[in-house]
Amino acid sequence: MQRILRIGTRDSQLAVWQATTVQSLLAANGIQAELVYIKSEGDLDLHTPLYAMGVQGVFTRALDSALLNDRIDIAVHSMKDVPVQLAIGIEEAAVLERASHKDILVYKEDATFLDHLQSYAVIATSSIRRKAQWLNRYPNHRIENLRGNVNTRLRKVAESDWNGAIFAAAGLERIALRPEQTIDLDWMLPAPAQGAIMVVARANDPYALEACAPLNHQDTATCVKQERSFLSALMGGCSTPISAFARMEKGALHFTGSVLSADGADKLEIERIESDPALFASIGSNAAKELIQRGADQIIKKFRQNG
């Protein structure tokens, strides 16, 4: 009798969409799977800003626990939520092909205020990375906290007097919730691995690891690994204003990363292009080392002291 894989997922609409996608991909390869719903701390606390909760993995720990306690066989995550250091006993099983990496602005009446860098507006986000980049570009704007799943956040935007709120394009597009009144923030660097979905399994479960292996998209896996290496080398997490994006183009790896102060006043950015595949594995960490030489460690140290 064939083993049925138990897929652990949060119960938000987006998380269920991601898990169902993995279930369908496995089914296409002849692997049966069922969904198991797990509540996370990040879902239960809708008031504390993400960057003030103080612990990495707020959206993944509950699934990690279920995985290690053999309640589930694999877990599906938005990869940007996954700590760069996986829990002991858990391994990456696959990285799905990336969707849009972009951040977008969902705005209210109009977005003409974006054309004037000295304008005044109120923008909502719980992400310190988005807040820092936004204030770097629009220093006169005020940032309001916005928590909850995408449905909750869209409702809060509709009910508020804010000018707009920042979302990940992939999250809204995957569940067909992207409103008409949105603008791609092409100038904003994403969180490392934004737009990618990660599947993890127990390290001692070869059946689950082998079942998920065909789902892996190599170019995406290569790119997000370097984004996360950049983050790791800077000793950052989802609670620090560190951004990175890598893409493959004509066989070359294009990498961009940045570090900002919480108020957006200080910014360091780096761009690298590597055409030698043998050197792809070091582009993220080397970019981080160069930024540290340029003072990134002081920006991060100041952020943590003030946090």
pLDDT by residue, tens only, the chain of 307 residues: 689 999 999 888 999 999 999 999 999 999 999 999 997 655 444 444 443 434 355 668 889 889 999 999 999 999 998 988 888 999 999 999 999 999 999 999 889 999 999 999 999 998 999 999 999 999 999 999 998 888 899 999 999 999 999 999 999 999 999 999 999 999 999 999 999 999 999 999 999 999 999 999 999 999 999 999 999 999 765 567 999 999 999 999 999 999 999 999 999 999 999 999 999 999 999 999 999 999 998 998 887 777 5
Token pair belonging to 69: 């306690």
> Has residue 123 been placed in a domain?
yes
Question: How confident is the model at residue 237, as a pLDDT?
Answer: 58
- The number of folded domains in the chain is 3
Task: Please pick, among 81, 103, 205, 266, the residue that the annotation labels catalytic.
Answer: 81
- pTM exceeding 0.85: yes
Listed in sequence order, the residues at least 6 apart from 170 whose beta carbon sits closer than 8 Å to its beta carbon are 99, 100, 101, 102, 194, 195
Whichever domain contains 271, its CATH number is 3.30.160.40
Residue 285, number of CB atoms within 10 A of its CB: 15
Indicate if 81 belongs to the active site: yes
Q: For the stretch 44-55, what's the b/e string if a residue is b when 16 or more beta carbons lie within 10 angstroms of its beta carbon?
A: eeeeeebbeeee
Q: 237: which strand partners? A: none
> Has residue 53 been placed in a domain?
yes
List own/partner pairs for 153-157 with CB under 8 A and 24 or more apart.
153/124, 154/106, 154/179, 156/124, 157/106, 157/108, 157/124
Instruction: Answer for the pair 220, 196: CB distance below 8 angstroms, yes or no.
Output: yes
Residue 198 to residue 116: CA distance in whole angstroms: 38
Whichever domain contains 204, its CATH number is 3.40.190.10
Question: How confident is the model at residue 85, as a pLDDT?
Answer: 87
Q: Are strands 242-249 and 252-260 parallel, antiparallel or unpaired?
A: antiparallel
> Are residues 180 and 200 located together in one domain of the fold?
no
> Are residues 92 and 107 located together in one domain of the fold?
no
> Has residue 189 been placed in a domain?
no
> Are residues 68 and 206 located together in one domain of the fold?
yes
Question: How confident is the model at residue 41, as a pLDDT?
Answer: 57
- Angle (nearest 5°) at CA 224 between 245 and 278: 100
Q: For the stretch 127-158, what's the b/e string if a residue is b when 16 or more beta carbons lie within 10 angstroms of its beta carbon?
A: bbbbbbbbbbebeebebeebbbbbeebbebbe
> Has residue 25 been placed in a domain?
yes
Helix crossing, 296-306 with 283-293: angle to 10°? 80
Q: The domain containing residue 81 runs over which residues?
A: 5-96+196-216
